[in-house]
Structure 1
Amino acid sequence: MHVLFVLDPLPGLKAYKDSSVAMMRALHARGHTLSVALQSDLYIDHGTVFARYEPIALVSDADLHGHEWWTARGEAAEQPVAAFDAVLMRKDPPFDMEYVYSTQLLDYAQAKGARVFNQGSAIRNHPEKLAITEFPELTTPTLVTSSMARIKAFYAEHKDVIVKPLDGMGGTGIFRLQPNDANLNAILETLTDNGQQTIMAQRYIPEIVKGDKRILIIGGEPVPYALARIPLAGETRGNLAAGGRGVAQPLSESDRRIAMAVAPKLAARGLLLIGLDVIGEYVTEINVTSPTCFVEITEQTGFDVADMFAQALERAVSGSVAVPNEAIATS
């Protein structure tokens, strides 16, 4: 296969821990050809979506802590996106309007035969924090609103709550409001922009001390290990970007039950790769843009997550795993 990665500039990736790089290495090991493009390299000309792309080759035995793990494989070129065997949308957030436009271009390309993973429409229709509200039976009590009065009532009911923006990543903007919190008004005024910005409030889940687990679902099947991101002492956020410590562990019976409740529905919508965030027995986020933690799980358990992904991609492209176009057909 010739696989196009739409992602951030290669020199800025931390190859030793980057999941997209792990995907590239697994695909390369299985004999596939790789190219890369930026969001800005996608364009439409006379109704056809093109990509300006750079063919790359991976350097064997490269030091992944350096920048020479890849090399250009010929000159940059341009061709219709549908001419690639697979297109992987791996651009990291922010999920801004430019990101939205990219997913729309990929949808148009898919209508002309491109094989896109995760599908543009599926990414747009699953905002990563809001998506959990489709599964209320799997979530802690959750409120989504811009009304400070409603949030205060929710806080008065549950006493100990988490409030966070809907577009944050890496743990940014997350606050824990405990009983009699003197900063309540200031925090809510800031997060909601004085009632103009919609945010999420959730009942605090004490099991966060045991870790915020990332459960990966690939091709509708859960990876058998999760990465529990354990917060620093005195911290309420387990995100690795916020200093959390990642510990791989086998899926519990509860983890597997949660994953299998979510996987069939979302996989059927064109989501080849999903990253569930689970605290205790509750889903707190459903990541579909560029889920990570491949490397950490593989290094600690020996289970090759990237190879599982590469095999799932091969099946999806060959047609043994159907990728529906229903979202495009109805748009």
Structure 2
Amino acid sequence: MSLNVAVQMDPMETLNIAGDSTFALMLSAQSRGHRLWHYDASDLSYSAGKVWARAHPVTVQRVAGDHFAFGAAENIDLGEQMDVVLMRQDPPFDLGYITATHLLERISDRTLIVNDPASVRNAPEKVFVLDYAQFMPPTLVTRSLDEARAFLAEHGEIVVKPLHGNGGKAIFKVGSDGANLASLIEVFNTAYREPHMIQAFIPAVSQGDKRIVLVDGEVAGAVNRIPGEGEIRSNLAVGGSAAKTELTAREAEICAVLGPELKRRGLLFVGIDVIGGEWLTEINVTSPTGIVAIDRFNGTDTGAMIWDAIERKVAAKR
């Protein structure tokens, strides 16, 4: 089965091909004979029921600095000419991102969108996870300094982070003395209109923050991300290092509970984050990462698993 695949993503020249999950997916697709197009979300247009993008046919190779080649740009009808659209641009989860999900939703009866655009829109990472509060560390969502102070008094040490942040950016630990908490909430309230996420600090984060990838509701693998020296953030994008790992019984339980709902929502490629083998902190659905490190440690081929699932779903649509 040869598919036409449009990839909505960031500029190709910005990719770190050594660890980029989207690039790995593109290589895997190309190896199967699928044809690829690249476009940015800002290139989407709509009229009279049609959604199209100004896109480049693209080929990829694992050669740093020469990892892609574009053909001439053309308008592609995403609802008629494409079998699959991969939504893979990085957040921020802003109005531009949300608008792209609204446009792509209009063709989802004809073209497989991965992940499902309506479900992505309704499941931002740090909000969707609230449905599974039984697995989370103590959590507060607020803009109120008084509420933050009360939460700190209850839990001793806390972490404050943007509700729609990504990649480990703007995450702050506040100690029991509460120094700078007022200033931090003031800065957050100025920078963001939405509430912020405040959680009890989990000391076990020093041993790693596990990224577990689920494909169509099934566990594909996991990697442990260990914070760098002097850091509480373990994201690979901010200096964390990757290590081989296995699932704990608690993590397997979390995946068993989440899996069927992810599958039902059309969230085919999902990465969840778990601290200390038991505390669920995020459900990443917008542009999950981690498959390159997982495959390197485990000898697996997560890209192939994802394309197997995509091909099954495309066949079911035909």
TM-score grouping bracket, smaller chain normalisation: over 0.9
Aligned counterpart in structure 1 of residue 103 of structure 2, from 102, 105, 108: 105
Q: Is residue 82–residue 115 contact of structure 1 (8 Å, CA) maintained in 2?
A: no
Quote the residue 2:263 is aligned against. 267
The Cα offsets for residues 61-101 of structure 1, whole Å up to 9 and x where unpaired, read as: x42x22x22223x4322232112111111011111211111
Report 1:13-32 matches (<5 A).
13-32=15-34
Q: Is residue 191–residue 197 contact of structure 1 (8 Å, CA) maintained in 2?
A: no
Report 1:232-247 matches (<5 A).
232-247=228-243
Deviation, structure 1 residue 171: 1.6
2:96 is aligned with what amino acid?
Answer: E
1:246 is aligned with what amino acid?
Answer: A
Q: Is residue 227–residue 247 contact of structure 1 (8 Å, CA) maintained in 2?
A: yes
Quote the residue 2:154 is aligned against. 157
Structure 2 portions without partners, runs of 5+: none
Q: 1:318 & 1:71 partners in 2: Cα distance?
A: 29
Deviation, structure 1 residue 300: 2.1
SS in 1 for 2:210: strand
Deviation, structure 1 residue 46: 2.0
Aligned counterpart in structure 1 of residue 252 of structure 2, from 223, 234, 256: 256
Q: Is residue 226–residue 234 contact of structure 2 (8 Å, CA) maintained in 1?
A: yes
Q: 2:314 & 2:206 partners in 1: Cα distance?
A: 41
Q: Is residue 41–residue 97 contact of structure 2 (8 Å, CA) maintained in 1?
A: yes
Q: What is the identity percentage for the equivalent residue pairs of Structure 1 and Structure 2? A: 39
Deviation, structure 1 residue 252: 2.4
Q: Measured at CA, do residues 195 and 129 of structure 1 come closer, stay the same or move farther in structure 2, by a change above 3 Å?
A: closer
1:124 is aligned with what amino acid?
Answer: R
Q: 2:141 & 2:53 partners in 1: Cα distance?
A: 38
Q: Is residue 217–residue 263 contact of structure 1 (8 Å, CA) maintained in 2?
A: yes
Q: 1:39 & 1:57 partners in 2: Cα distance?
A: 19
Quote the residue 1:204 is aligned against. 201
Quote the residue 1:326 is aligned against. none
Q: Does 1:230 align with 2:226?
A: yes
Deviation, structure 1 residue 247: 1.1
Q: Does 1:182 align with 2:179?
A: yes
Q: 2:188 & 2:284 partners in 1: Cα distance?
A: 22
Q: 1:186 & 1:70 partners in 2: Cα distance?
A: 45
Q: 1:87 & 1:197 partners in 2: Cα distance?
A: 30
Q: Does 1:87 align with 2:81?
A: no
Deviation, structure 1 residue 176: 1.1
Aligned counterpart in structure 2 of residue 216 of structure 1, from 198, 208, 213: 213
Q: Does 1:314 align with 2:316?
A: no
Deviates more, 1:145-154 or 1:246-255: 246-255
Q: 1:317 & 1:282 partners in 2: Cα distance?
A: 35
| TM-align CA RMSD | 1.9
Deviates more, 1:262-271 or 1:175-184: 175-184
2:55 is aligned with what amino acid?
Answer: Y
TM-score for the superposition, normalised by structure 2: 0.93
Deviation, structure 1 residue 262: 0.9
Q: 2:33 & 2:50 partners in 1: Cα distance?
A: 29
Deviation, structure 1 residue 196: 6.0
Q: Is residue 163–residue 194 contact of structure 2 (8 Å, CA) maintained in 1?
A: no
Q: 1:266 & 1:17 partners in 2: Cα distance?
A: 25
Q: 1:3 & 1:196 partners in 2: Cα distance?
A: 36
The Cα offsets for residues 39-63 of structure 1, whole Å up to 9 and x where unpaired, read as: 122111222111222112234xx42
1:101 is aligned with what amino acid?
Answer: T
Q: 2:312 & 2:49 partners in 1: Cα distance?
A: 29
SS in 2 for 1:163: strand
Q: 2:208 & 2:273 partners in 1: Cα distance?
A: 10
Quote the residue 1:135 is aligned against. 132
Q: Measured at CA, do residues 102 and 196 of structure 1 come closer, stay the same or move farther in structure 2, by a change above 3 Å?
A: closer
| Moved segments of 4+, more than 6 Å | none
Q: Is residue 124–residue 286 contact of structure 2 (8 Å, CA) maintained in 1?
A: no
| Pairs aligned (count) | 314
